[in-house]
């Protein structure tokens, strides 16, 4: 009989050697706790239509998006879960304009940046959604929230949970990207995708093509390139887009290709991006690089972009390294 797969907590223990002792303990506590709250979120999503949890609350969040009932519920569930660990010092969340400061947990306490329910436009149509998180050091400072600002390379860990037909959790502490699947009968995440390696090139791209007229000319030319027929290089690529970043990035990590959300260049003096740096693009870019992929804004490496605002937005092109390198070339032409 095959050995039983490693649980998330067993796997977190194997990663301790790659982090300083104090950080390692806190990362294991926070990721383990996020795993447990994810199992609860998965249950809530499964029952949302039955419990009248679908639809909007009738207010906008810090970045102007209309908030859904499950966004608020997910934020509250995450805050409560993190408060139960002693490893956290603050939470930067899509659903809160300012950091949620928590009782300081010592020099190695963590600042968690999270989008509790990402892809919420999929909620009311029973589509896949996710939770994204990023971990940084509080450096023992109070308030801890400002310690989240800085480059993506400062992240100690990152991960996401995808609520699809199965609930999947992928995380990194800078030593590869590892994927787990929730066993509903035990509530445990089990290692099903150890050391994910993204293919060097893919066959599909994900982008909201309805925005084509707002794109940078390099972005437009790149998409035309992907659609052009060339048997030798495997083109045309197929279009795959779910509308939830977590689901689109998860597919891209496993199958290769690209996930893109380019900026709106209608006013070239002020390009406007949509996705948020701290709790969407930086963590997903960290995970992608750890899987052997690449993540760019078209103009620079995402992880080098310095956050100066909690809800800063940034363009992203991430996925198979050779595909992203080709996209960058189109931006330079």
Binding footprint of ligand FDP on the chain (CB under 6 A): 118-121, 208, 243-245, 261, 275, 280
Do the beta carbons of residue 318 and residue 253 sit within 8 Å? no
CA–CA distance, 10 with 332 (Å, rounded to integer): 45
Cα R_g (the chain), whole angstroms = 19
CA distance 201 to 310: 33
Report the nearest approach of ligand FDP to the CB of residue 94 (Å): 7
- Cβ proximity to ligand FDP, 7 vs 288, nearer residue: 288
Grouping H, G, I as helix, E, B as strand and the rest as coil, residue 84 is coil
Under 8 Å between Cβ of 241 and 208: yes
**Tokens found for residue 254:** 């496993």
Tokens found for residue 81: 């879960």
Of 183, 143, 177, 141, nearest to 157 by C-alpha is 177
The structure tokens 């994810």 sit at: 38
Smallest distance from ligand FDP to CB 245, Å: 3
Q: Which is nearer to ligand FDP, 129 or 191 (CB)?
A: 129
Residue 198 C-beta: closest distance to ligand FDP, Å: 18
Longest alpha-carbon distance in the chain: 62
Residue whose CB is less far from ligand FDP, 26 or 61: 61
Q: Compute the least distance from the CB of residue 314 to ligand FDP, in Å.
A: 12
Place of tokens 């982090």: 19
Min. distance of Cβ 129 from ligand FDP in angstroms?
Answer: 8
3-state secondary structure labels for all residues of 218-260: HHHHHHHHHHCCEHHHCECCEECCCCCHHHHHHHHHHHCCEEE
Q: Taking the complex as a whole, how short is the minimal distance between the CB of residue 169 and ligand FDP, in angstroms?
A: 17
Find, among 43, 45, 70, 73, the residue nearest to 55 by Cα. 70
Can you tell me which residue has the tokens 């509080």? 138
- Least separation in angstroms between residue 116's CB and ligand FDP is 11
Helices (H) and strands (E) in the chain, counts: 7, 17
Nearer to ligand FDP, 101 or 264 (CB): 264
Q: Which is nearer to ligand FDP, 189 or 261 (CB)?
A: 261
CB closer to ligand FDP, 130 vs 202: 130
In the bound state with ligand FDP, the residue whose beta carbon lies nearer, of 40 and 275, is 275
Shortest approach of ligand FDP to residue 1 CB, angstroms? Answer: 40
Q: Which is nearer to ligand FDP, 262 or 321 (CB)?
A: 262
- Give which of 219, 216, 189 is closest to 324, Cα–Cα: 219
Shortest Å distance, C-beta 244 to ligand FDP: 5
**What distance in Å separates the CA atoms of residue 281 and residue 160, rounded to the nearest whole number?**
11
Quick one: 261 or 265, whose CB is closer to ligand FDP? 261
């Amino acid at each position: 009989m095959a050995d039983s797969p490693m649980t998330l907590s067993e796997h977190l223990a194997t990663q301790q050697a790659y982090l300083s002792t104090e950080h390692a303990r806190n990362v294991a506590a926070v990721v383990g706790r996020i795993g447990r709250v994810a199992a609860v979120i998965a249950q809530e999503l499964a029952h949302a239509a039955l419990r009248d949890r679908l639809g909007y609350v009738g207010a906008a969040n810090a970045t102007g998006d209309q908030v859904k009932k499950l966004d608020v519920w997910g934020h509250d569930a995450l805050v409560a879960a993190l408060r139960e660990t002693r490893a956290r010092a603050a939470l930067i969340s899509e659903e809160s304009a300012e950091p949620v400061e928590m009782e300081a947990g010592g020099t190695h306490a963590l600042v968690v940046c999270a989008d509790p329910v990402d892809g919420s436009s999929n909620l009311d149509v029973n589509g896949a959604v996710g939770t994204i998180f990023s971990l940084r050091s509080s450096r023992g400072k109070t308030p801890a929230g400002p310690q989240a600002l800085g480059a993506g390379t400062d992240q100690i860990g990152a991960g996401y949970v995808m609520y699809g037909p199965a609930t999947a959790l992928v995380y990194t502490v800078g030593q590869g990207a590892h994927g787990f699947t929730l066993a509903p009968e035990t509530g445990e995440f089990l290692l099903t995708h150890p050391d994910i390696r993204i293919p060097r090139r893919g066959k599909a791209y994900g982008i909201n093509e309805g925005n084509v007229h707002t794109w940078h000319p390099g972005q437009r030319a790149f998409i035309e390139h992907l659609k052009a027929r060339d048997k030798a290089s495997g083109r045309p690529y197929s279009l795959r887009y779910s509308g939830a970043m977590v689901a689109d990035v998860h597919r891209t990590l496993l199958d290769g290709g690209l996930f893109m959300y380019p900026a709106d260049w209608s006013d070239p003096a002020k390009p406007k991006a949509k996705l948020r740096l701290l709790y969407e693009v930086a963590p997903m870019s960290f995970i992608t690089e750890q899987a052997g992929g690449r993540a760019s804004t078209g103009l620079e490496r995402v992880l080098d972009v310095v956050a100066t605002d909690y809800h800063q937005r940034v363009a992203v092109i991430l996925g198979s390294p050779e595909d992203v390198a080709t996209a960058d070339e189109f931006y330079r032409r």
